[in-house]
Amino acid sequence: MGRNSLAAITVAAIAMISVSCASMRTAGNNERGRVVHYAREMMDKGYKYGADTPEEGFDCSGLVQFAYKNAGIKIPRTVAEQFAASERIELQKAREGDLVFFTTYASGPTHVGIYTGGGRFIHAPSEGRRIREDDISKNYWKKVYYGAGTFFR
């Protein structure tokens, strides 16, 4: 194998590693704050299953993806994909912009919100409701809490 071939393989390997790690970011408070800012700007927009724009409304994972995208971070679209791609963290270590997952109607993660700090999170709840901020310590949310994840490191 020639020197040029080895160099090409090395460059390709580095590119693959970069792409696979693109969703994990080292972020300061500004990037985390931007995620929360964009989610807060959508407060009171309506819930709509499968929707992910301010004009249509949002489902829970659509809101999360929208806030991250507007903050310049690419993440997957569905709750299951967001859970699988994020790094598990303990709720006590969650910071603003991290994600909190719930199991509301089936086994596994079925609902997601953006942690805002102080035990609170922003989410698109369900049909007929509007995007809002809730307290994770409320009995319902404590009962259905599934885990927390981060795309920041």
Catalytic residues: 60, 111, 123
Structure confidence by residue, pLDDT tens digits, 29-42: 799 999 999 999 99
In the chain, the amino acid numbered 57 is G
- Domain ranges for the chain: 26-150
Q: Strand pairing partners for 115? A: 121
Give the integer Cα–Cα distance in Å for 126 and 118. 23
Give the integer Cα–Cα distance in Å for 13 and 7. 10
* Whether pLDDT at 142 is above 90: yes
CATH of domain 26-150: 3.90.1720.10
**Averaged confidence pLDDT in the chain:** 87
pTM metric for this prediction: 0.83
Give the integer Cα–Cα distance in Å for 98 and 115. 5
Sheet holding 87-89, edge to edge: 87-89, 145-150, 99-102, 111-117, 120-123, 132-135
